[in-house]
Every structure is written in structure tokens, then in C-alpha cells.
Amino acid sequence: MYAVVDVETTGGKYNEEGITEIAIFKFDGNKIVDQFISLVNPERPIQPFVVQLTGINEKMLRNAPKFYEIAKRIIEITEDCTLVAHNASFDYRMLCTEFNRLGFVFERPALCTVALSKKLIPEQASYKLGKLVRALGIPLSDRHRAAGDARATVKLLKLLLDKDSKKTIVKEVLRTKDQDKVARKFQALMEQVKPVTGVYYLHNQKGDVIYIGKSLNMRKRVNQHFTGKSRKALKIQLETHSVSTEETGSELIALLKEIDEIQLHKPKHNRVHKNDRIRFGLQEAVNSNGYRLLRIVHAEDGTNYITTFKNLSNARKTLYFFAHKYTLCLKYVGLESPKEACSDVEINKCLGACAEREAVELYNKRVQNCIDQLRFSSPNLLIVDKGRSHDERSIVLIQNTEYKGFGYADLNYQINNLDMVKNLITPMKNSRAARHILQSFIRKNKVKQVIDLNEKA
């Protein structure tokens, strides 16, 4: 028995949507034996683009039943059925979300007619419901309304059953029942993860860390691991037994902690961290006339750079931006040929240093201003950002241009000097990847405050 379902929703942020309309047709493989269709008051605003798409507005839903009032009927009509929908992961997730809000776990094996169509009627121009059913000669009325879309899906399912000489659908039903047990396990694990910023750890049955990641919404990201279909995702799903998390409040702290933890634990499913692949650095030199030069070079271990870049394209783009911001010569920052004056001279974006028409002192002062913004502007800095609660702030310490660690401080706590800060932080490794992240965040003004501790001393 199949329960063919379609829901319309409010739209909005992931897992914050609400159902506005639902249609369920109980189908025995030959005919519809029961049905339930209803508008639903979602008790939350509908996104304007959804109103335009579906025609369902808040006025229409004012007197509609709320989800808890129809929940029993949904359970009854789907009992002992395989849930079927076009893009089933969405409709099934929405039902699970609404039931979770009521404190009830909704579990049904599910089939997706998108996936089945790709197997049984391949080489279609599109597998979107509207285009697919038109191509197959299936009538579709009331597009983007639950009843119209669900009826079309019933007819599509019947056609697929007729074409299914190898019993692919029956096998899929049996397989999804087994998968449903696995899905319940992952659902239980996911519910332990808060939808907040932090670092998460996936563990195998022995407790070993097999994967580490960071996210602004850990629950959403962990769910992607558990629902992914890639080879890596399937391996992670097979081995994951438990999940642990550490809330950081700040994206910056999450990034710093993630790279440190990956280097420490070396989880089997983490590739070399993307921020470890820093291939270029910015160096300074002085020419024979005393003008300060900036050059992009291949990064080497053990060498300090003004700043670092993941790739040459990003390095050149950043340097172009700062060269124009501080009126620097493109020739003297290595972006144009050293044999002739730069092209910016003629349009007054270069003041003539490359033609020796500008005083060395004036030009070098602007170079220094540029360098100060590209790297740590002071050897001793305190970076202040979001904390894990409203009355807390995260702090990162830079001492003698080296990353020392991070910690948390009460919002009302007065940070007066370097010694006080040292007592608050957890020491961390001063890696090139960590410095790259810090410089990038400061440069892009992605933190709440940067305090010069030399001025505070």
C-alpha cells in the first residue's frame, strides 16, 4: 500500500518552514482507496515568493486547522504504507519536522518518484513534476497546489508500476524499510546536535574520531552527512556510531578549533584541510632607489609573510584591490612589468613612484599603511567576537605577531592587559593556516573588535 503525499509550505529557513497545505492519496497500486486534503494554518508567515507560486495566502489559512488538529488523520491514512512523493526527502522532512514540534516521532518508509523515474524512464529532458508528466501525457491541474500535484504523482506512480517488469519498486520498498531503521538512528543522533555555530565530531563504535567539521548550523551540516549520497558520505554513515559537539559562538573560533583538532586527531575521513593548502605569500623588499616593493611568492615552511593566499588568483585580486586603495604602483607590487612605468601613471592612480616622480618617503608611508591592513597591525592584538551567549565574548590573542590561542570572557569583564588575557585563553599552535584565517578575518572586518594591547598597556 502506498500513501502518495504532497505538501506546500511557507518557505523560509531550513527546518523553520511550516506546512500550508497537504494532500494524501492512499493507493493500492491500482486505484485510490482513501484520501485526505486540507489547508493548514502554519502559525508563521508565508514568504512572498511562495504566495506568488502557490496562490495560498495568510488570509486563506486564518481559519484552517492547525497541524496538531490533523496529525491523527495523517498517522491513520499513512499507517502500514510506504510514503511516496516527488522529491520525497522534502515532503517527508516536512512531515517529520511538524510531528517533532508536537513531540512525536513520525516514521514511514519512503520512495521518491524522481529517483524511480530516472531508473525506469531514463533520458527524459526533465524530471521536474510539471515537465515530466506533460512529456508522459499525464494530465496535471492545479500545479503547485497539494491535491493537483499529488494526483499527478499517483498517476506517475501507476505508470512506473506498469513499466516495472524487473520489480524495481517492490525491491526498493523492501530496501527502504531496512533503510528506515538506519534513518531512525541518524535522526536520534541529529536531535542531539544544536543548530548553533561550533565544531562537531563523528565517532565510530570504538569512540575514535573519524571526521571533524565546523558549521554555523551544526545540526544542518550533520544532517547533510547523514543524508548524502556520495561515496564519502556513505562511508561516514556506515561507520558513524555517535556524535559530539563543541559550541563556539564565533565562526572564527570554529575555524581555528577545526584546523587544530584535525591536525591533532587526523581523522580518517578528513582530507588535508583546505586552509593548510596555502601556496602563496606576500613579501617586502626595497629597490636601489629606496622604494619599498611588494611581491607575491611561493610560500615556504618556516618563513613569515606579510599575509598568505590559497591561490595565485586570490593573491593577485587582493593585491590589485589594496594597490588601488593605497595608490600604490602596480610595477612596485609585482603586478606589471618591471621594465617600464606602470599603466596607472597616465590615469593618476599611480603618483609616479615607478618614474621616480614621487618622494620615496611619501610612497613608502602608503606602503606601510597597506602592510598594516594586510597583516596584524600591531604585534600584540586582542580579537573580540561573538561568544556562546549574549553576555559573553570570544577572544583571540596575538602576541609578538604570533597566534597564541583563544578563550572566552564575560561581556562586563574589563580586559586591561596582556597578562590578564593570557589567563583566559587556551594555548594553540601558531600554524600558518591559523594565521591565514586570522589575517583574512581582520582584513574583511568579520569580527566585532580588534584591540591593540600595546595601547592598553
Residue 8 has a pLDDT of 96
Q: How many Cβ atoms sit within 10 Å of the Cβ of residue 227?
A: 14
Residue 75 has a pLDDT of 96
What is the Cα–Cα distance from 184 to 107, expressed in whole angstroms? 8
CATH superfamily of 2-178: Ribonuclease H-like superfamily/Ribonuclease H (3.30.420.10)
Give the cell for residue 63.
481559519
302 Cβ contact partners less than 8 Å away, ≥ 6 residues apart: none
Low-confidence ranges of the chain (pLDDT < 70): 170, 173-184, 272-277, 341, 345-348, 412-414, 416-417, 455-457
Q: How many Cβ atoms sit within 10 Å of the Cβ of residue 370?
A: 22
Give the cell for residue 183.
534513518
Residue 238 has a pLDDT of 87
Residue 335 has a pLDDT of 87
The strand ranges marked E within 165-291 are 198-203, 209-215, 242-247, 280-286
Phi, psi of 20, deg, nearest 5: -110, -20
324 Cβ contact partners less than 8 Å away, ≥ 6 residues apart: 349
Q: What amino acid occupies position 414? A: Q
What is the Cα–Cα distance from 93 to 413, expressed in whole angstroms? 44
Entry field: residues in the chain: 457
Domain boundaries, the chain: 2-178, 192-271, 280-374, 381-456
Residues 310-351 have pLDDT tens digits of 889 888 998 988 888 888 888 888 888 777 767 776 666 778
* Cβ atoms of 323 and 335 closer than 8 Å: yes
Residue 275 has a pLDDT of 46
111 Cβ contact partners less than 8 Å away, ≥ 6 residues apart: 2, 82, 83, 84, 88, 169, 172, 173, 176
Give the cell for residue 324.
588601488
Alpha-carbon distance values, 25 to 74, 110, 283, 444 (Å): 11, 14, 68, 53
What is the Cα–Cα distance from 374 to 380, expressed in whole angstroms? 15
Classify domain 192-271 by CATH number.
3.40.1440.10
